[in-house]
A and B are shown apart, each in its own frame.
Chain A
Amino acid sequence: MSEPTVVTPGATGPTVVTCGADMLAEAVAGQAVGVERVDWRPPMPGTEADLAAVATDPRRPDANRRAVEAVLGVTATLVDVAPASEVLGLEPGQFLHAGPPIGWDRASGPLRGALMGGAALEGLVADPEDAVALFESGSSVSLEPCHHRSAVGPMAGVVTPSMWMWVLEDGTTGRRTYCSLNEGLGKVLRYGAYGPEVLARLRWMGEVLGPLLQASTRAVVAESGPVDVTGILTQMLQMGDEAHNRNRAGTLMLLRDLAPAMVASGADAGFDGSDVAQALRFVGGNDHFFLNLAMPACKLALDAGRDIPGSTMVVAMARNGTDFGIQVSGTGDEWFTGPAQVAEGLFLGDYGPDDANADIGDSAITETAGIGGFAMATAPAIVRLVGGSVPDALATTRRMHEITLAENPRWSVPVLEFQGTPTGIDVSKVCRTGILPQINTGMAGRVAGVGQVGAGLVTPPAEIFPQSLAALAARTPGAGA
């Protein structure tokens, strides 16, 4: 018989995680037991009942596990470059744009500017200014979100039939996503500029850059198979890119893969050495060039997680310059929208907050997939560009783990002990913690034609998360019974 003493909890005793009254945590700690205290706060107002309904939805745990596995299971590869008219079936007068659906009447300045430039590029009007009447009448033109055609568009995201698109494919399922070619910075169509130099550059991209990239991509695919874009993302995250506002390493790795083929096949495609040199100079001089591959790679992964009943995972975040919208796996194609916010950050030249348009673009697809603002810790070189400090960057990535379902083992952050990036935003965790997804973004000028005015940080409007949670709760098996 042992001495009748108090049980002394030690290595064999349980560790206790406490959530709630601190007094109970103190009582456990007072027994020399390891206690981890949750820093609990009340959820977003009015969400308690919906949170409980969704938490006890018997489908949810497995649905979210399947959604995450599907997203993490996708390897995005570059298989082709082709005009939107061919790969998206886009016809004259049809325009794609970023974000949730919107009409000309509510379109912001940069979206209007890009549409006007796009109309001129397609020859629907001679002068971009004439396009205003065209879009106001609406009789021969139509607007549709890029997301509805398996595409994503940075900033205004305007896509017209003659624009060349990257074509990414999931080799396992054959599913494809698309994105236009990046035009560079400053006065560019996606920021709403439509001056002659903007149109001239777009025409060169259509006549030279697009066909050259098509020829070289097809040559690489034929020779060594599709280019592993997900793999490039893995490497660039370790090289200081977060793949939203910084894509320098990714751009150069892409060039490494395509440049020899551009040189070799350029002649076959009818381009001389100076064309090839100009194309290489354009791509190499545009640090954002790879963004337009990162975005469709993220969409390809997230689309795999769509339409799983019971899943609370966000599969798209997108803005049209007026509204910020999200789509959630368990609620199909429904958009939950609220007013887009103006980013906080740094401004170019003498632009200031009054010059900036509300948040715009499909590029938040990168954050939705766990990079961009979610991977800030891996990109200390740009934290000041987007208005933060290095400790802020580490804290941001850690904070995003509080609202996500998983970590991406392929995309890891060296400075956080190679922890995977936070992946799969959970609507219910956002509502529980009040922590909003952190997005790195560029800022477009408020007025059509201005172009980029800055870059910074932004979050979605909080109310769209309780909205989507309520829709999920309404779809639980017990709802309405």
Chain B
Amino acid sequence: MKDHVELRPGAYADSVTLLQVSRAVQATPGVVAAQVAMATGLNLEVLAGMGFDVPGSSPNDMVVALRLDDDAELGAALAAVDAALVPTRPGSGDSRVAPPRTTGSALRHAGPGAVALVSVPGASATVEAMDALESGHDVMVFSDNVPVAEEVALKTYAATRGALVMGPDCGTAVIDGVGLGFANTVRPGRIGLVAASGTGCQQLLALLHHAGEELAAHGTDGVGVRHALGVGGRDLSAAVGGLATREALRRLDADADVDLVVVVSKPPASEVADALATEADALGTPVELGLLGPGQRDLTAVAEAVLARLGHDAPQWPVAGAHNTGAATGPLLRGLFVGGTLCDESMLMATEALGPIRSNIPLADDLALAPDELLVGAHTMVDFGDDALTQGRAHPMIDPTLRNEQLARAAADPATGVLLLDLVLGHGAEPDPAAGLAPAIAAARADRPVPVVVSLVGTDLDPQGLTAQRDALVAAGAEVHLSNAAATRRALDLLSQLEAS
């Protein structure tokens, strides 16, 4: 073995790109291990853990760390690094007209309808978002780890300009059919969504799309989504006070092509929820509030209420692979989620049936799990998309490594009775997520046939193909639902059968 470590000051690429570069270089013959990353504190720890000796660096340096077979050529490995890095900077090869270096500069000559999509590290996101607002454009802040005070400052400024701040930590938006961030491709219609929850929004998009297709197959059209405006998971917190939700409601109310507005949120602050209800009543367009919380409806029930308001019965929500599911193999429920709101929804439902659930995004403080001890002797639900688990790495919808590791660990635990998972499709997500999850499920079930129930959130128009993804999961031994609430209910049923027996 021989190690090669070099610093490249002034080079930069985002963490997702570098993850892909590292993977591509690892596949080069003779390369035993490869880590190409910015020299942030977290990445230096990872490099040290891999046994690489990194010389003094600043976070703005790119580190190329390679471990090679003894007879491997360093030149070939470095060429692989360079080749993998090249396509990440379209346009930068042209020295005559360099690409813009700030959001403000890129927007200088943009049309009035342009939207900015900011996904730089959280410490730098506010500055880019302000650029958009100052030049009169809406902005979606995908970045997480943005301080709440900066979120309030951004949204307060936006309110003076009639601009919309989607985020921070806004995973999903659909504007005029164009998906931003993690977004499903859906049939168009006259419903407007406001979402303080990315995966909650995606669940509603998927359910309403499915219902719309079913209705269309029977000759009834009209159920579809015109816009889905994300506002960020903290918008309905006491600190932010629904600033972006208010602007989003104003927009959708003013849109003559929107007949019904649906608000979906993670559990909101109660006083903010009350104020929102009052404001919603005052609008000309009817508003259906889908605010998660103890005793509140689940997202599937919200979708059914929307359909009822439009005069339609809810369809049978699809399920596949029910034949796979044997009896629960232990007393405990383990939920492993990439979607924070799906995790919240399942926790709320499971708490009613099972009592307190331990989680890294707990419903009460005394139920908290530290990021480094996610498997304890209690019912647990983990959100792998939470800030604490994504600091310095990509979202689990892009990088599923952490969840797959935990899946193996949880399945091997004799106390685990049922595994509850989610898989989210759409633009921005992995091109073939089941290709990673299905083998992990099959491997987990090979030793202990623990029942695996998956909520697969997506539409048949999504780039990954809903059917192919579902079939792969079913073939691996999972039971697959479109409705996360139905999947959760099924997992609880399986557990209760064990208790009864």
Binding site for B on A (CB under 8 A): 1-2, 4-9, 12-25, 27-28, 30-31, 33, 36-43, 45, 48-49, 51-52, 55-56, 58, 61, 391, 394-395, 398-399, 401-402, 428-429, 432-433, 435, 478
List, in ascending order, chain B residues with CB within 8 A of A394's CB: 96
Cα(A285)–Cα(B133), bound, Å: 52
Q: CB distance B150 to A38 under 8 Å?
A: no
Give 1 or 0 for each of B88-130: 1 = CB within 8 Å of chain A CB.
1111100111111111111100110111111111011011101
Cα(A52)–Cα(B143), bound, Å: 14
Q: CB distance B179 to A37 under 8 Å?
A: no
Knowing A16-B114, A19-B103, the reply to whether A4 touches B14 (Cβ < 8 A) is: no
List, in ascending order, chain A residues with CB within 8 A of B221's CB: 1-2, 4
**Which 7 A-B residue pairs are closest in the complex by CB-CB distance?**
A7-B177, A20-B119, A56-B153, A48-B123, A27-B427, A39-B99, A20-B120
Q: CB distance B114 to A51 under 8 Å?
A: no
List, in ascending order, chain B residues with CB within 8 A of A40's CB: 12, 101-102, 120, 124, 128
Return B328 CB to nearest CB of chain A, in Å. 38
Return B331 CB to nearest CB of chain A, in Å. 40
Cα(A17)–Cα(B188), bound, Å: 24
Return A17 CB to nearest CB of chain B, in Å. 5
Q: CB distance A16 to B117 under 8 Å?
A: yes
Return B228 CB to nearest CB of chain A, in Å. 12
B428 interfacial by beta-carbon distance below 8 Å: yes
Knowing A4-B224, A23-B17, A28-B180, the reply to whether A58 touches B157 (Cβ < 8 A) is: yes
Give 1 or 0 for each of B363-402: 1 = CB within 8 Å of chain A CB.
0000000000000000000000000000000000010000
B187 interfacial by beta-carbon distance below 8 Å: yes
Known: A27-B428, A45-B58. 17 other contacts (CB 8 A): A6-B461, A13-B113, A19-B116, A19-B128, A22-B17, A22-B88, A31-B178, A38-B99, A38-B101, A39-B100, A41-B101, A42-B121, A55-B127, A56-B150, A58-B153, A61-B134, A402-B101
Knowing A9-B176, A36-B110, the reply to whether A18 touches B119 (Cβ < 8 A) is: yes
Listed residue (A18, A30, A56, A428) with the most chain B CB atoms within 10 angstroms of its CB = A56
Return A427 CB to nearest CB of chain B, in Å. 12
B142 interfacial by beta-carbon distance below 8 Å: yes
Q: CB distance A402 to B119 under 8 Å?
A: no
Knowing A395-B98, A399-B98, A433-B101, the reply to whether A24 touches B181 (Cβ < 8 A) is: yes
Q: Return the chain B residue nearest A35 by Cβ.
A: B117
Q: CB distance A21 to B16 under 8 Å?
A: yes
Q: CB distance A20 to B188 under 8 Å?
A: no
Interface size class of B (residues with CB under 8 A): 35 or more
Complex partner residue of B187 from A6, A17, A19, A52, CB under 8 angstroms: A6
Return B441 CB to nearest CB of chain A, in Å. 25
Q: CB distance A39 to B101 under 8 Å?
A: yes
Give 1 or 0 for each of B23-60: 1 = CB within 8 Å of chain A CB.
00000000000000010000000000000000000111
Q: CB distance A402 to B102 under 8 Å?
A: yes
Return B46 CB to nearest CB of chain A, in Å. 18
Return A444 CB to nearest CB of chain B, in Å. 31
Q: CB distance A55 to B178 under 8 Å?
A: no
Q: Return the chain A residue nearest B216 by Cβ.
A: A4
Return B217 CB to nearest CB of chain A, in Å. 10
Q: CB distance B106 to A17 under 8 Å?
A: yes
B435 interfacial by beta-carbon distance below 8 Å: no
B185 interfacial by beta-carbon distance below 8 Å: yes
Return A173 CB to nearest CB of chain B, in Å. 28
Q: Return the chain B residue nearest A58 by Cβ.
A: B157
Give 1 or 0 for each of B133-160: 1 = CB within 8 Å of chain A CB.
0100100001100010110011011000
Q: CB distance B154 to A56 under 8 Å?
A: yes
Q: CB distance B98 to A23 under 8 Å?
A: no
Knowing A21-B16, A30-B427, the reply to whether A56 touches B398 (Cβ < 8 A) is: no
Q: Which of B46-86 contact A (CB under 8 A)?
A: 58-60
Query: Would you list 15 pairs from A and B whose C-beta atoms are within 8 A, ordered by A residue?
Result: A4-B188, A13-B176, A14-B178, A17-B103, A19-B103, A19-B120, A22-B88, A23-B398, A28-B180, A30-B463, A38-B99, A39-B91, A39-B99, A401-B105, A428-B127
List, in ascending order, chain B residues with CB within 8 A of A61's CB: 134
B308 interfacial by beta-carbon distance below 8 Å: no
Cα(A55)–Cα(B134), bound, Å: 10
Listed residue (B59, B104, B463) with the most chain A CB atoms within 10 angstroms of its CB = B104
B212 interfacial by beta-carbon distance below 8 Å: yes
Knowing A21-B17, A38-B106, the reply to whether A56 touches B178 (Cβ < 8 A) is: no
Return A36 CB to nearest CB of chain B, in Å. 5
List, in ascending order, chain B residues with CB within 8 A of A19's CB: 102-103, 106, 116-120, 128
Knowing A4-B221, A37-B90, A56-B157, the reply to whether A42 touches B113 (Cβ < 8 A) is: no
Listed residue (A13, A23, A41, A45) with the most chain B CB atoms within 10 angstroms of its CB = A23
Q: CB distance B96 to A395 under 8 Å?
A: yes
